[in-house]
Amino acid sequence: MEFNQTKTFKNLAASFASECQAGMRYQMIAQASLQQGYQTLSDEIKKIAKNETVHAKRFFDLLILHNGNMKNVPVNAGYPFESGTIDEMLEFASQSERNESQLIYPEFAETAFEEGFNDVGEAFKMTAEVEARHKEKFDYLYEGFKNGTLFKSEQPKKFVCSKCGYEATAQEAFTICPLCKASQGFVNLELL
Ligand SMILES: [Fe+2]
Ligand SMILES: [Fe+2]
């Protein structure tokens, strides 16, 4: 069977589109966070956005590898168009990461292995693992943002200013950095 007649071909094309869109949606959350003064939140979301664009490139490269250049590939799939407040967008992001990591990519991986494209199957499998981590990160950010606990800790912990490196151990980060006067939105977020 020609590669462009396989399910894996369609899945790769749809996944490329999906990763491009995820990268863009996360850039929009990062931008909104920045506008509201959450510099380090914005930075963390940008890192995830960048991961998505690398996933897109990987899927793009696999399509070219297996099929060569193509003009006008129709991509028929459903994509989320959801916006809102920062916490709503973080929640939407978590949901789409859950769908990708638990449903879509595991299924695409299985199909690719069945159709004999092990390199694609491995790529989908590894991407699913990354998206599962993204989901955890978005959950952490969502909970922290919604509950106002991003810069708080039940046990005293070290909060570090991302601008000047000032450190203070407390249950809550300084609202204004005593050294460089940066706002709390510049305090580092520690995402494991
Ligand atoms: Fe991704
Ligand atoms: Fe992701």
Q: Which residue has the tokens 């407390």?
A: 170
Domain boundaries, the chain: 3-147, 152-186
Are the beta carbons of 20 and 164 closer than 8 angstroms? no
Evaluate if residue 154 carries a pLDDT over 80.
yes
Quote the CA–CA distance of 4 and 89 in Å, as a whole number.
35
Ligand nearest, relative to CA of residue 136 = 2
CA–centroid distance, 11 to ligand 1, in Å, is 14
Over the stretch 28-71, which tens digit does the pLDDT of each residue have?
A: 999 999 999 999 999 999 999 999 999 999 999 999 999 999 99
Mean pLDDT of 151-157: 95
**pLDDT band at 190, cuts 50/70/90?**
confident
**Ligand located closest to 54 CA:** 1
CA–centroid distance, residue 55 to ligand 1 (Å): 5
Ligand 1 center–CA 46 separation, angstroms: 13
Q: What is the CA(161)–ligand 1 centre distance, in A?
A: 29
Q: Give 131's pLDDT tier (boundaries 50, 70, 90).
A: very high
CATH topology of domain 3-147: Ferritin (1.20.1260)
Q: Which of 183, 91, 97, 93 lies closest to 144 in space, CA to CA?
A: 91
Segment 100-126, tens digit of pLDDT: 999 999 999 999 999 999 999 999 999
Q: Which ligand is nearest to the CA of 57?
A: 1
The full DSSP string for 126-151 is HHHHHHHHHHHHHHHHHHHHHHT-TT
Q: Is the pLDDT of residue 25 over 90?
A: yes
- The answer for residues whose C-beta is within 8 angstroms of residue 192's C-beta and 6 or more apart is none
